[in-house]
């Protein structure tokens, strides 16, 4: 904008950054100007005047405040170009997720977030009063997406989930967006893993094709996904950790964040891959509906997908036999009567099926290399934050 008129210049006096103006003038091509045009002889109208400076300098290339200060003032900080770019990428991931699954014959569903029982059968749920009865915020749409496999065969959901886990880490929040998928008539968990691998390739391809400007602004180089993505059984992963890093974690029921980081290093050095599937998680650690390995009941047909040494997706084959599902509940000390609506779908026939869930914010965190999940969460909820 070329502004020389003293009367128009006077309108800017005292205005702070983020004041809102309407500009009317003559648009003139100017190759050296941002956007390739200039506005000559502008007439300004102040629509919203800001009289005090914002809590941090939005016109700087990089935001300087610490994370807590930024989150306290997120309604303003999110206006920064870097933050806008980050959440444009987030929206693009959701759009590409839907695009891919629609093309694969999946049906999008929306399931209740107020539920009468804990989905995972655990204690880490938010309890609420529901007209005098106990209810819970949904930990996942797992039961409902399995039920809907009996209706549509292939379903997905994009929606919030809630975990009442007192974590205070860079990779956990108590509410996040889960990208859930469930599909019927599978051979085993490898069918599900193959779909997840193709989905990941599609997501990255769409970001590269349609959001190069945002990636460049953030300095993000997207990874190339190995074909096929390497696979390690849980037992072999633990043995490799012992061999390479000297920590004997054999017999432990899960991988710690440090174990995942070490496996990320192994994936890069041994397979030149940023992605790694770990299969065969122990039965004691996976939910009751996870299909048990018939060759070794100690392990399941469950898997995680690690990306740059961090779990971004969890999935597996599910139990589809009614009697086996009832037995699995009883073995965990759960009352099948509390899951009657869920079990009804299996009582009347369900195909072999499986699925997975991706943490959208964690995927974006790993893609962009930011250090804290709260940076890729629009308005994060954790153990200490309920506002803004």
CATH number for the domain that contains residue 356: 3.30.930.10
| Cα Rg, the chain, nearest whole Å | 25
Tokens of 170: 């860079």
The answer to whether residues 23 and 108 belong to one domain is: no
Q: What is the spatial distance between Cα 227 and Cα 233, in angstroms, rounded to a whole number? A: 18
Domain carrying residue 5: 1-53
Tell me how many domains the chain contains: 2
Q: What is the pLDDT of residue 122?
A: 60
Give 26's pLDDT tier (boundaries 50, 70, 90).
very high
Instruction: Please report which confidence band the pLDDT of residue 170 belongs to, taking 50, 70 and 90 as the band edges.
Output: very high
Residue 68 inside a domain? The answer is no
Q: Does 42 lie in the same domain as 85?
A: no
CB 282 within 8 A of CB 253: yes
Query: Helices in 211-300 by DSSP H: which ranges?
Result: 212-218, 234-245, 257-271
Q: Do residues 167 and 44 share a domain?
A: no
Looking at residue 212, what is its pLDDT?
A: 98
Are residue 184 and residue 290 in the same domain, yes or no?
Answer: yes
Q: Is residue 134 part of a domain?
A: no
Comparison of pLDDT for 230 and 58, the residue scoring more:
230
Residues 189 and 316 in one domain: yes
Q: Looking at the predicted structure, is the pLDDT value of residue 123 above 90?
A: no
Residue 172 lies in a domain: yes
Q: Tell me the average pLDDT of the chain.
A: 96
pLDDT at 140 over 90: yes
Q: What is the average per-residue pLDDT within 139-144?
A: 96
344 CA to centre of own chain: 30
14 shares its domain with 90: no
pLDDT digits (tens, 9 = 90+) for 328-373: 999 999 999 989 999 999 999 999 999 999 999 999 999 999 999 9
Pair 47, 152 in one domain = no
């Amino acid at each position: 904008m070329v502004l020389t008129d003293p009367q128009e210049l006077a309108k800017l006096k005292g205005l702070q950054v983020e004041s809102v103006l309407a500009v009317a003038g003559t648009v003139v091509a100017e190759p050296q100007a941002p956007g390739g045009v200039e506005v000559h002889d502008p007439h300004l109208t102040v629509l919203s005047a800001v009289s005090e400076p914002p809590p941090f300098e939005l016109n700087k290339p990089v935001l300087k405040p610490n994370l807590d200060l930024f989150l306290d003032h997120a309604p303003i900080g999110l206006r920064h170009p870097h933050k806008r770019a980050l959440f444009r990428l987030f929206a693009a991931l959701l759009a590409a997720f839907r695009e891919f699954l629609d093309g694969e014959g999946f049906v999008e569903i929306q399931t209740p977030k107020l539920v009468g029982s804990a989905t995972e059968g655990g204690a880490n749920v938010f309890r609420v009063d529901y007209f005098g009865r106990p209810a819970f915020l949904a930990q996942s749409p797992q039961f409902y997406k399995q039920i809907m496999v009996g209706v549509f065969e292939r379903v997905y959901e994009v929606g919030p989930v809630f975990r009442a886990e007192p974590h205070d880490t860079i990779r956990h929040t108590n509410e996040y967006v889960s990208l859930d998928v469930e599909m019927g008539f599978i051979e085993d968990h490898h069918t599900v893993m193959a779909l997840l691998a193709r989905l990941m390739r599609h997501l990255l391809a769409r970001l590269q094709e349609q959001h190069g400007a945002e990636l460049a602004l953030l300095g993000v180089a997207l990874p190339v996904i190995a074909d096929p993505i390497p696979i390690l059984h849980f037992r072999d992963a633990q043995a490799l950790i012992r061999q390479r890093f000297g920590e004997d974690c054999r017999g432990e029921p899960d991988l710690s964040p440090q174990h995942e980081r070490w496996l990320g290093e192994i994936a890069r050095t041994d397979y030149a891959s940023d992605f790694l599937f770990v299969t065969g998680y122990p039965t004691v650690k996976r939910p009751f509906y996870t299909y048990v390995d018939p060759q070794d009941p100690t392990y399941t047909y469950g898997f995680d997908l690690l990306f740059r040494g961090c779990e971004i997706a969890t999935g597996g084959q599910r139990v589809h036999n009614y009697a086996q599902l009832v037995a699995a509940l009883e073995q965990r000390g759960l009352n099948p009567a509390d899951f009657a609506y869920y079990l009804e779908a299996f009582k009347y026939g369900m195909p072999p099926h499986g699925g997975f869930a991706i943490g959208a914010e964690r995927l974006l965190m790993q893609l962009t290399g930011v250090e804290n999940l709260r940076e890729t969460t629009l308005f994060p909820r954790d153990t200490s934050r309920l506002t803004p």
